Chains A and B, each alone.
Chain A
């Protein structure tokens, strides 16, 4: 049997793997992506499409800001239609406690020199969201934020990468990984692959790959749920979230409204399936109506969930393997990795071709829990 060789092997054809392949191919590096199902079949193709900088954990702000700049030109860069729209994102404050939370966050951000989050009073909130319920008293907005169509965005990276020489192999599930000399030897059911560098972008299965490489992580996985309505008259331009309630929705140009909010169903990753928890979706529906009574009569057309990986601190793992040379991780984006896609590929390409990244990756170390555990 022939062994397929490339300089880099990426495991996982989600947005992170596809973006990594794109950035590497652009630098003339030969790269192959192994995907067990089809590209963008999982989280990267079925997520809520939220392109959010607002409210990011401080450790992620720099990455997220850079990603946000990239999103504004991404269609031109990739020569594709990702469906990205900068519509702004508003988190609504339902009461004084929420406003207090927002004020202290504002102070913290200003001290660090970040000014992209701007507080809104009740009047300003209503101006931007005329249909918001009376009891909402303010909020915070980030103007550059918006949404994109996840499946199209991930495919855009894939197609752009393929155009410049990256190879994507679908239906290839990595079953074993060995290091022989300076080479990584990776086997799927029927094929063998060899590369100098190995990248783990395996999403909700990344801990399994991580273990094969030699790194143990306390990663978990779950199935955040979404629902989308049939078309309704236009009523909200910005993407909407809430400071302290599980509410999140956006109305697309075709009038459909995508409702999220973080409620999780049941995940069965061995079988690629999830089960929805309808009573939790019911409370999500309740929150949407509470904040936007106009949505009472909205008709839900589809409900679904995707498999997503989480770390205990809800921050991703990004960086070099601790146990092995020339292996890299990018996973466990904890339900907000879609927006980071454009920058993660760049970070990994830097680590591979330059040996380092211009971003501070310390908070994302794969072994950040090791000391804490013992």
Chain B
């Protein structure tokens, strides 16, 4: 792998640009480079690995094994990724991607632009917002951020309460416990009835017994510790004026309150939509996962010819399927650019496609079992903050709705909800679902925010320094006609006079 930054030259573009170096992005890069494609991978983290394998080759923990076998498995794929010929540009935020193959990102205080014939979006997932009263107070974080602190800096919070539902929540609690950190309580919001309704999918889940056993193992681990577990909790509220003082909830009608300064919330993950939405890809509402997903075919091809979406950013699939999907997307794009034939792609993708189909059964089970409560997605309390950037509450949105903000973009213009720096990541799903309820129409008819670049904040100075970036690598191209002999020497386009 070539780790340094390309010297800019003109008239040159990559075959495939991959955004995100998680399992999906890394495996796509490995597959694509094997076939001789000129590949660049951009990721905003210093190291490859994505969410699940964050820092797997440089853990701050003395015994990274506490993070689990799945985590350690990541060192194989990250090693293979490092060996491949893809250019890896790390620590860069891609803040614009266009369906014309243009990518813009900030690097060392400058805006760099590169172009690629094909783009694979592999930007992963984010945690589903948990809009309950007080979720915006200092002291309240997502369980995922607790894990990020752990994986990146080895930091933990003693005596915290974890609340919500979903496998990732239990995994993080287990990771905490293995480190000997005291967890004050796990407040599980998985409703009783989910256990019943998910049973109809249990045969499907049996197709992936390993996953099932893993999940049960985590629950056992937590139960065996002295962590207090509350099950079937609902009506979660964080209490406190300027900071978290306690978490209250009820279980079959009886009230509970746990005093704590740290609450970690989690109710599953949803695709990180900013990139796919800003690209203008078609999205549909996925009732099974209660989220918007970009429309893709089996090969990850989106509604725009040159763009594929792989991994969790296409709909939550989990790490192994993400890797499989990365390979599948890459194969399709290799066909698109003429490096392999369709037959080759069909052949090489067969096993992965089979695997993904099998995994879908297991997904259905998981999604049914951990389907978050309506009341924790669609806030009813007038004071509950929906948009954290602009501090807009349910009441503000109701007012905007009454004034004609019937659709997310109108409501945004009316109330500023979703106009802040997070670009609506934290409120977009809530707004879609609330409007659907108020209009008494399906979420699919309500739609989502129209998004625009930049996907991350860019300083004016960064933007004003604008440079074009082209491939450094010359690759062996058995089957391709393009030669790289025309790689030019430094040529920079400085807009600053």
Instruction: Flag whether B421 is at the interface (Cβ < 8 A).
Output: yes
Q: Given A159-B404, A278-B104, A278-B113, decide whether A285 and B457 contact each other with a Cβ distance below 8 A.
A: no
Residue interface mask B87-104, A partner, CB < 8 A = 1: 000000000101010101
Instruction: Flag whether B2 is at the interface (Cβ < 8 A).
Output: no
CB atoms of A285 and B414 under 8 A apart: no
CB atoms of A38 and B407 under 8 A apart: yes
CB atoms of B459 and A300 under 8 A apart: yes
Instruction: Flag whether A310 is at the interface (Cβ < 8 A).
Output: no
Minimum-distance CB pairs A-B, first 5? A299-B457, A151-B413, A282-B466, A286-B464, A285-B464
Residue interface mask A281-324, B partner, CB < 8 A = 1: 11101101100000111111111100000000000000000000
Residue from B113, B452, B461, B466 in contact with A302 in the complex, judged by beta carbons closer than 8 Å = B452
Residue with the greatest number of chain B CB neighbours at <10 A, chosen from A39, A230, A273, A278: A278
| Chain B 458-474 residues near chain A, CB threshold 8 A | 458-461, 463-466
How far, in whole Å, are A299 and B457 apart by their CA atoms in the complex? Answer: 5
Residues of B within 8 A of A152 (CB): 413-414
| Chain A 22-81 residues near chain B, CB threshold 8 A | 38-41, 45
CB atoms of B461 and A296 under 8 A apart: yes
Instruction: Flag whether B216 is at the interface (Cβ < 8 A).
Output: no
Instruction: Flag whether B496 is at the interface (Cβ < 8 A).
Output: yes
CB atoms of A283 and B495 under 8 A apart: yes
A residues with CB within 8 A of B: 38-41, 45, 151-152, 155, 158-159, 229-230, 259, 273, 275-276, 278-279, 281-283, 285-286, 288-289, 295-304
22 A-B residue pairs with CB within 8 Å: A38-B410, A40-B413, A155-B403, A159-B404, A230-B457, A276-B452, A278-B453, A278-B463, A278-B466, A279-B495, A282-B463, A282-B464, A283-B495, A288-B460, A289-B461, A296-B459, A296-B460, A299-B460, A301-B420, A301-B421, A302-B452, A304-B452
CB atoms of A300 and B463 under 8 A apart: yes
Instruction: Flag whether B139 is at the interface (Cβ < 8 A).
Output: no
Separation in Å of the B177 CB from the closest CB of chain A? Answer: 39
CB atoms of A300 and B457 under 8 A apart: yes
Separation in Å of the A137 CB from the closest CB of chain B? Answer: 19
Residue interface mask B266-289, A partner, CB < 8 A = 1: 000000000000001000000000
Q: Given A155-B404, A278-B96, A282-B111, decide whether A297 and B461 contact each other with a Cβ distance below 8 A.
A: yes
Residues of B within 8 A of A155 (CB): 403-404, 414
Residue with the greatest number of chain A CB neighbours at <10 A, chosen from B102, B104, B280, B460: B460
Residue from B413, B423, B453, B495 in contact with A276 in the complex, judged by beta carbons closer than 8 Å = B453
Instruction: Flag whether B454 is at the interface (Cβ < 8 A).
Output: yes
Separation in Å of the B418 CB from the closest CB of chain A? Answer: 10
Residues of B within 8 A of A279 (CB): 113, 466, 493, 495
Separation in Å of the A250 CB from the closest CB of chain B? Answer: 15
How far, in whole Å, are A297 and B98 apart by their CA atoms in the complex? Answer: 25
How far, in whole Å, are A39 and B406 apart by their CA atoms in the complex? Answer: 12
Residue interface mask B394-426, A partner, CB < 8 A = 1: 000000000110010110011000011101000
Chain B interface residue number, banded: 35 or more
CB atoms of A230 and B466 under 8 A apart: no
CB atoms of B460 and A289 under 8 A apart: yes
Separation in Å of the A99 CB from the closest CB of chain B? Answer: 22
Extra pairs beyond A259-B460, A279-B493, A301-B421 (9, CB < 8 Å): A38-B410, A278-B463, A282-B464, A283-B464, A296-B460, A302-B419, A302-B423, A302-B454, A303-B452
Residue with the greatest number of chain A CB neighbours at <10 A, chosen from B407, B409, B413, B497: B413
Separation in Å of the A280 CB from the closest CB of chain B? Answer: 9
CB atoms of B280 and A273 under 8 A apart: yes
Residue interface mask B114-155, A partner, CB < 8 A = 1: 000000000000000000000000000000000000000000
Residue with the greatest number of chain A CB neighbours at <10 A, chosen from B419, B423, B459, B463: B463
Residues of B within 8 A of A159 (CB): 403-404
How far, in whole Å, are A289 and B410 apart by their CA atoms in the complex? Answer: 32
Residues of B within 8 A of A281 (CB): 463
Residues of B within 8 A of A301 (CB): 419-421, 454, 457
Residues of B within 8 A of A39 (CB): 404
Residues of B within 8 A of A278 (CB): 96, 102, 104, 111, 113, 453, 463, 466
Separation in Å of the B426 CB from the closest CB of chain A? Answer: 14
How far, in whole Å, are A222 and B320 apart by their CA atoms in the complex? Answer: 46
Closest chain B residue to A80, Cβ basis:
B403
How far, in whole Å, are A6 and B469 apart by their CA atoms in the complex? Answer: 59
CB atoms of A300 and B454 under 8 A apart: yes
How far, in whole Å, are A282 and B464 apart by their CA atoms in the complex? Answer: 4
Residues of A within 8 A of B96 (CB): 278
Closest chain A residue to B422, Cβ basis:
A301
Closest chain A residue to B390, Cβ basis:
A254
Q: Given A38-B407, A155-B404, A159-B404, decide whether A303 and B454 contact each other with a Cβ distance below 8 A.
A: yes
Separation in Å of the B441 CB from the closest CB of chain A? Answer: 14
